[in-house]
């Protein structure tokens, strides 16, 4: 039976121009960008070596984030150059939330003053997501050193100039700045002995070759319990719950002394607001669970849930404060 539809000559489809082809590709890709985050494993870059305070906190967080986000969280330790190597990896990553940085005031407020050609801007090149934890630093000495207080330590250093040295986890680390602050406020000359990590410094401190060390409560606690070190004070404005009998540096005779290590989550600059909000909500949820709060407290850290704006304020504040210490001590990288 002949067709009842009017017959029209068949016309070939037009060949797409380069512009039309580009538009077609964009339209085809649009559904992918709208997929729910995350749609693949998330990489958490820890810009320091395994076993340190950042690594321990990062793995504690990652184990719980993957349950809430429904994707594996892969912890990637990329240490070196004060944390700037790992930080730069994230600064240059795609801002889709699948590459994150567990940074600190070391990576965002100290390192910028140490390297003239730092490959990233600590404010412009990152999206602040959430503060994670605040970790106090402890001043401890070798049991062989004949001092039992900060006042006695300062008196010894003044009586024997050049006799006191302190170990730290590296040039420009928070523990390094803690020692420089003691030297400045206490009026006592101290020699800085940097190590690749705090754990590398401990054997020398145990043996009295380096008489003192600044390190996080988290890393130092096992050595304190074993009696291998004598703690003198914490560097925070208030005492630490796990070491309630240990005075603050201010209480020990140095008014105005305060320096704290904070650890926080960042993403590359330009992350979608919705992705940032989801990550912030998930991290804050984890930090407010009794299990994580108690675990952090037992390790000497304090959870610090908050907004991306709170984290940005902390970065900007410490950029000013840490810069003053670095300049006054004339700290230079190796």
**Judgement on whether residues 91 and 156 belong to the same structural domain of the protein:** no
Interatomic CA distance for residues 53 and 263, integer angstroms: 9
**Judgement on whether residues 163 and 117 belong to the same structural domain of the protein:** no
Interatomic CA distance for residues 256 and 329, integer angstroms: 17
pLDDT given at position 117: 87
Whether pLDDT at 16 is above 70: no
Q: Please state the rounded mean pLDDT for residues 57-85.
A: 93
Interatomic CA distance for residues 261 and 150, integer angstroms: 21
**Judgement on whether residues 72 and 94 belong to the same structural domain of the protein:** yes
**Residue 215, domain CATH:** 3.40.190.10
Q: Is residue 18, in this structure, part of any structural domain at all? A: no
**Judgement on whether residues 266 and 198 belong to the same structural domain of the protein:** no
Predicted TM-score (pTM) of this structure: 0.80
Interatomic CA distance for residues 155 and 172, integer angstroms: 26
CA-wise closest residue to 53 among 288, 216, 230, 181: 216
**CB of 73 closer than 8 Å to CB of 66:** yes
Q: How far apart are the first and last CA of the chain?
A: 91
Q: Please state the rounded mean pLDDT for residues 15-44.
A: 57
Whether pLDDT at 32 is above 70: no
**Judgement on whether residues 123 and 267 belong to the same structural domain of the protein:** yes
**Judgement on whether residues 210 and 269 belong to the same structural domain of the protein:** no
pLDDT given at position 35: 54
Q: Angle at which helices 308-329 and 174-186 pack, to 10 degrees?
A: 50
9's CB contacts (< 8 A; 6+ apart) are: none
**Residue 271, domain CATH:** 3.40.190.150
Q: Is residue 121, in this structure, part of any structural domain at all? A: yes
**CB of 230 closer than 8 Å to CB of 142:** yes
Question: Structural domain tally of the chain?
Answer: 2
**Judgement on whether residues 59 and 126 belong to the same structural domain of the protein:** yes
Q: Please state the rounded mean pLDDT for residues 192-218.
A: 91
Domain span at 311:
42-134+261-329
Per the model's pLDDT, the better-predicted residue between 35 and 252 turns out to be 252
**Judgement on whether residues 78 and 155 belong to the same structural domain of the protein:** no
Cα of 190 vs its chain's centroid, Å: 26
The residue with tokens 């801002």 is: 95
Whether pLDDT at 156 is above 70: yes
Q: Please state the rounded mean pLDDT for residues 98-112.
A: 95
Per residue in 262-318, pLDDT tens?
999 999 999 999 999 999 999 999 999 999 999 888 877 899 999 999 999 999 999
Task: Sort strands 137-141 and 191-194 into parallel, antiparallel or unpaired.
Answer: unpaired
């Amino acid at each position: 039976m002949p067709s009842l539809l009017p017959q029209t000559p068949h016309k070939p489809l037009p060949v797409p121009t380069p512009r039309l082809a580009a538009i077609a590709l964009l339209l085809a890709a649009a559904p992918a960008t709208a997929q729910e985050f995350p749609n693949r494993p998330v990489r958490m870059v820890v810009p320091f070596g395994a076993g340190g305070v950042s690594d321990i906190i990062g793995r504690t967080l990652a184990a719980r984030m993957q349950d809430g986000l429904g994707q594996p969280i892969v912890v990637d330790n990329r240490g070196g150059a004060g944390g700037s190597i790992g930080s730069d990896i994230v600064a240059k990553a795609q801002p889709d939330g699948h590459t994150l940085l567990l940074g600190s005031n070391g990576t965002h407020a100290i390192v910028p003053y140490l390297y003239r050609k730092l490959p990233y801007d600590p404010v412009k090149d990152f999206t602040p997501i959430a503060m994670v934890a605040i970790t106090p630093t402890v001043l401890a000495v070798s049991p062989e050193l004949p001092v039992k207080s900060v006042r006695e330590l300062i008196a010894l250093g003044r009586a024997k100039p050049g006799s006191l040295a302190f170990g730290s986890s590296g040039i420009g680390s928070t523990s390094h700045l803690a020692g420089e602050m003691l030297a400045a406020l206490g009026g006592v000359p101290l020699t800085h002995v940097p190590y690749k990590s705090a754990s590398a410094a401990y054997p020398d401190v145990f043996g009295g070759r380096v008489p003192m060390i600044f390190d996080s409560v988290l890393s130092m606690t096992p050595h304190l319990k074993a009696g291998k070190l004598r703690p003198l004070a914490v560097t925070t404005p208030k005492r630490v719950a796990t070491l309630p009998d240990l005075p603050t540096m201010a209480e020990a005779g140095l008014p105005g002394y305060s320096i704290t290590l904070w650890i926080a989550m960042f993403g590359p600059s330009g992350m979608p607001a919705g992705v940032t909000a989801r990550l912030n909500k998930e991290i804050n949820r984890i930090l407010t669970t009794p299990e994580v709060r108690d675990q952090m407290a037992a390790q000497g850290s304090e959870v610090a849930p908050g907004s991306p704006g709170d984290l940005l304020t902390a970065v900007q504040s410490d950029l000013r404060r840490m810069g003053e210490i670095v300049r006054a001590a004339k700290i230079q990288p190796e």
